[in-house]
Structure 1
């Protein structure tokens, strides 16, 4: 991109099921960030990627798959199917972003013609994958996407993350990008969270920053490396 490096834009899960008014798991005001993200898509990022939850109908994160469990209020412990010592605690959700349904598709307001790639995650019914890089299991890695390899193959050094939801999939994707060694930014005003409280938003920001993610705004100077000719 410039002498400073090459930047990628990763737009997380801007899908119908995550947006009002009819999304099965709608994030408050989730659809409202589309204009800001389209402005980012107009910038000359070296790589522009959108991610999608792409779940089978019997995905482990669906409350409907667990007897006497309720969405939003019930939790479930997921075990790495290849290593019983690794576990993940997750909230159970309503059925959402089921493969080949309208709810799984990117919202029509998003200028998808400017995307270079769509990365589908959460396809393994056994494990949850908030991060676009894959589930949190590492010993061994299970059901990972090729996102890290794709970024490296393109020579990407900097990753800018936006989308839905700030406190779940955006957070997990940004933290994993930083762990993979990319200089990572989360663009807070091009995101929306499930927890809209000030306390929840700050806690998410602090967790990302603890892992090396830099939280910025749409007008931040860090985007100058993309705007530069």
Structure 2
């Protein structure tokens, strides 16, 4: 199942199951972008609890961005830019909102620090003159897919998602954990289709991760990436809760099959055998 009904763009883009091969990008959840801030986005404060729940999932990396502007930044209206003064470096308005679950954030990337160049994307500035190092960080952590949330959907979230897809990451924007300045969600989604960015709902991600999985669902999840290490270990760690768990023989058969996959994957130099994986997956699906 593709996240937005379209084909996945690579890797395991078609499933919302989160593993250590996924990253969460939390875009510009700063005081000045909250209602009442100098560039407040309507409803932005309401997505904080949803983002916090996402931050608790087993992502390989949770990264946040901050606009961190000089006091005379080119984007400000006093210099002919489109925006009021906002997120000036070191001010309270530039701080991440205090209710955000910052303990789960592994890295904070600051952008828009050059006086004469604006920067919407988490990856690079608008002139593509300087980069944040995020792409290299993601690759170094073994990340193959990114989920993007925050504000504003039609500006910095969209720019970050487009750059993530351009860099080759499977990319999913969780639209219910974003808020827009002007454009509707439907308009942004329509534009995403042309650049390989998928959309989904954070509530669906959380629902999948919070409930037990059936053997058939486990098999489908394992089959998508042909049981890469991150999937095998993540699923084995939590997916041994199945419906009808009182059925001990069935539960043991599932446990044994998953453990067989885990023990096959013994080290970074060891290649899992495709046919052996598929045979075990078929066993699980038949339970």
TM-score of the alignment, normalized to the shorter chain, above 0.5: yes
The residue that corresponds to 1:14 in the other structure is 29
Answer 1 or 2: higher relative contact order, Cα 8 Å, separation at least 6. 1
Kindly name which structure, 1 or 2, has the bigger radius of gyration based on alpha carbons.
2
Query: Aligned-pair RMSD on alpha carbons?
Result: 2.4
The residue that corresponds to 1:112 in the other structure is 102
SS of alignment partner, residue 103 of structure 1: helix
Cα separation, 1, equivalents of 2:39 and 2:48: 17
Cα separation, 2, equivalents of 1:125 and 1:153: 30
Q: How does 1:160-171 map to 2 (within 5 A)?
A: 160-171=147-158
Q: Residue 195 of structure 1: which of 182, 189, 196 is its match?
A: 182
Alpha-carbon shift at residue 27 of structure 1 (Å): 0.2
Higher share of residues assigned strand: 1
Cα separation, 2, equivalents of 1:135 and 1:116: 22
Gaps of 5+ in 1: 67-75, 77-91
Alpha-carbon shift at residue 136 of structure 1 (Å): 3.4
1:208 counterpart = 2:198 = no
Q: Residue 136 of structure 2: which of 149, 174, 186 is its match?
A: 149
Any runs of at least 4 consecutive aligned residues in structure 1 with deviations exceeding 4 A, and if so which?
2-5, 221-228
SS of alignment partner, residue 190 of structure 2: helix
Higher share of residues assigned helix: 2
Cα deviations by residue, 1:119-175 (Å, 9 ceiling, x for unpaired): 1011111111111111233xxx41221111111111110000000001111011001
User: Given the two structures, how large is their TM-score scaled by the length of structure 2?
Assistant: 0.65
Q: Residue 65 of structure 2: which of 42, 51, 62 is its match?
A: 51
142 and 42 in structure 1: CA distance in 2 versus 1, 3 angstrom threshold: same
User: Given the two structures, how large is their TM-score scaled by the length of structure 1?
Assistant: 0.80
Gaps of 5+ in 2: 1-16, 210-220, 222-230, 238-287
Alpha-carbon shift at residue 205 of structure 1 (Å): 1.1
Question: 2:150–2:178: 8 Å Cα contact kept in structure 1?
Answer: yes
1:99 counterpart = 2:89 = yes
Cα deviations by residue, 1:52-111 (Å, 9 ceiling, x for unpaired): 111111111001123xxxxxxxxx6xxxxxxxxxxxxxxx10000000000000001101
164 and 156 in structure 1: CA distance in 2 versus 1, 3 angstrom threshold: same
1:61 counterpart = 2:75 = yes
